Amino acid sequence: MLTVESGPAIFASIGAMRIRNHSLRKRPMDEIQKTGQADNGSQAFRRTALHDMLVNHLRDMIIEGQLEPGTRLHEGQLGEQLGVSRTPLREAIKYLASEGLVELVPSRGAIVKRFSAADVRDMLTVLRTLEELAGKLACELATDKEIAEVRSLHDEMIERYKHADRLQYYKLNQQIHLAIVHLAKNPTLADIHQMLQTRLKRIRFVGHEGAEKWAAAVSEHQEMIEALEARDATRLSEVLGRHLTKAWERVRDSM
């Protein structure tokens, strides 16, 4: 079961995630190698740092399409490419399998998960229902400070959009959805939402391909933050529902 933070803790976590995502973008491949080979610091700390870096790097490769659905993950080839041994790589792949991004297939090994159009439609339908409910609850339960934190994420996301930085824009976009769900202060809702959002990472990223699709998504996010700041539960629920309906329309043709 995924753990859920509430109140200021979730925003501290999101802030740390934002910094970590930004640093990963700038970190060259040899940084992963250095982490695995470093002599200083405790061995347990180095293992944890290397694991996190590998998981983030492989996840980004899947999101951006460098590892396409159906691709077999050869531990030997990936290990050579990343300059790490098979053991930490295998653990990172297992973690991605727990997120639903990778399948562990008997006699074939690890394969990047391929979802059918029906799978994606069904997951987005459930995600839409969850976010519609979360939007209503967030307007009732969020503090002014928590809403201001979401505004901060939104403003940073817009900056990434202006700089055409799709990956960092996408990560901030997903953090905004996650933040709104956490403002509903319902751990069960948040657990199910996070599971679906993780599985849909690559699909949602594809939904921002093309200037027109991307601009439409940004416009919908602007409506979201305005509704949240106004604590207009009906409007925020409607915007979130429409946004996820449009998300399906944006990715449907690419399935």
Distance CA 31, CA 34 (A): 5
Locate the domains of the chain by residue range: 38-112, 117-252
- Give the pLDDT confidence score for residue 37 in this predicted structure: 52
Query: Which among 73, 69, 105, 64 has a CA at the least distance from the CA of 92?
Result: 73
Helix locations, the chain, DSSP H: 8-26, 29-37, 43-63, 75-82, 86-99, 117-141, 144-162, 166-183, 187-199, 201-206, 211-229, 233-252
- Give the pLDDT confidence score for residue 189 in this predicted structure: 98
Write out the chain's pLDDT in tens, 255 residues: 333 344 444 555 445 444 344 444 444 355 555 555 554 556 665 778 889 999 999 998 988 888 999 999 999 899 998 899 999 999 999 999 998 899 999 988 999 999 999 999 999 999 999 999 999 999 999 999 999 999 999 999 999 999 999 889 999 999 999 999 999 999 999 999 999 998 888 888 877 677 888 999 999 999 999 999 999 999 999 999 999 999 898 888 776
Tokens of 38: 């470093």
CATH of domain 117-252: 1.20.120.530
- Give the pLDDT confidence score for residue 19 in this predicted structure: 39
pTM over 0.75: no
**Owner of token pair 């531990």:** 75
Could you report the per-residue pLDDT of 22-80, keeping only the tens digit for each? Answer: 444 444 355 555 555 554 556 665 778 889 999 999 998 988 888 999 999 999 899 99
3-state secondary structure of 72: strand
- Give the pLDDT confidence score for residue 105 in this predicted structure: 94
CATH of domain 38-112: 1.10.10.10
